[in-house]
Amino acid sequence: DGGITQSPKYLFRKEGQNVTLSCEQNLNHDAMYWYRQDPGQGLRLIYYSQIVNDFQKGDIAEGYSVSREKKESFPLTVTSAQKNPTAFYLCASSILFARLEGTDTQYFGPGTRLTVL
Amino acid sequence: GNSVTQMEGPVTLSEEAFLTINCTYTATGYPSLFWYVQYPGEGLQLLLKATKADDKGSNKGFEATYRKETTSFHLEKGSVQVSDSAVYFCALTTDTGRRALTFGSGTRLQVQP
């Protein structure tokens, strides 16, 4: 059963802790993305990766870090430098240069809700 | 830069009513346009998409037409159901650069029986 999995579904963090959110895909997609969603707002891009061992900052990368050691995996670490980390985090993936589809369609995981205690 | 503007919600309708959610955009290059739907506590599901001007995306009774002249991609459904209650996001991507999605702020739809 192909898809994108994120874990955990709920995560609680104490002040000053780093936490890591998992994102795995078995769709053989090239690109992976992390978005942050705050209540009543759209999604904002944190980081993205188009190839293994390479990733780029998005619009709100401060206080976050990522790695892309395997094509299937793109974990996100929320560091203590992120001042307001409570949010819903969504991971997505897509083929690059999907000519048959006409566009690189992104598919999303179920999300992780992070709460700072 | 790219931006997407959606009508603010919530939109409250009775079952079987006609739905329109407005979406307009600005983009550099030639964008592809998407509608995603989010049910409570879940991730986003692709609802429909259109990749070039005058294309019509459709799925589950929802439709949207890519209007380049008015830079719009309005979502419509002829007869909504209670199960359509969700948040709807309009988004775009371009075929160069980072290829990430630019989202509107979302429109909450509430359908009453």
- Selected for mutation to probe chain A from B44, B46, B66, B103 (highest A CB count within 10 Å) is B44
Q: Which residues of A touch B (CB under 8 A)?
A: 6, 31, 33, 35, 40-45, 48, 50, 56, 58, 90, 92, 94, 96, 101-111, 113
Q: Euclidean distance between the first and final Cα of chain A, in Å?
A: 35
- Please tell me which of the candidates B49, B95, B100 has its beta carbon nearest to residue A58: B100
pLDDT of A39 above 90 = no
Verify cis geometry, omega within 30 degrees of 0, for the bond prior to B10. Answer: yes
| Share above pLDDT 70 across residues of chain A, in percent, rounded to a whole number | 93
Please answer whether residues B35 and A103 qualify as being in contact, where contact means their C-beta atoms are separated by less than 8 angstroms. no
Digit-coded pLDDT (tens) for B71-108: 999 999 999 999 999 999 999 998 777 778 999 999 99
pLDDT score recorded for residue B112? 96
Question: Taking CA atoms, what residue in A is nearest to B31?
Answer: A103
**Residue labelled with tokens 């904002």:** A44
Q: Do B101 and A110 touch (CB under 8 A)?
A: no
Digit-coded pLDDT (tens) for A62-82: 999 999 999 999 999 999 888
DSSP B6: E
**Residue labelled with tokens 């008015």:** B70
Digit-coded pLDDT (tens) for B21-77: 999 999 988 899 999 999 988 899 999 999 999 999 999 999 999 999 999 999 999
State how far the Cα of A24 lies from the Cα of A7, in Å rounded to an integer: 9
pLDDT score recorded for residue A1? 59
Higher pLDDT, B104 or A97: B104
Q: Do B51 and A102 touch (CB under 8 A)?
A: yes
Q: Do A109 and B43 touch (CB under 8 A)?
A: yes
Q: Do A42 and B51 touch (CB under 8 A)?
A: no
pLDDT score recorded for residue B37? 97
pLDDT score recorded for residue A117? 85
- Please tell me which of the candidates A45, A90, A113 has its beta carbon nearest to residue B100: A45
Q: Do A111 and B42 touch (CB under 8 A)?
A: yes
Rg of chain A (C-alpha set)? 14
3-state secondary structure of B83: helix
3-state secondary structure of B82: helix
CB atoms within 10 A of CB B59: 14
Those residues with Cβ within 8 angstroms of residue B97's Cβ, 6 or more apart along the chain or in another chain: none
- Please tell me which of the candidates A48, A90, A111 has its beta carbon nearest to residue B100: A48
The verdict on B57 touching A (C-beta cutoff 8 Å) is no
pLDDT of A91 above 80 = yes
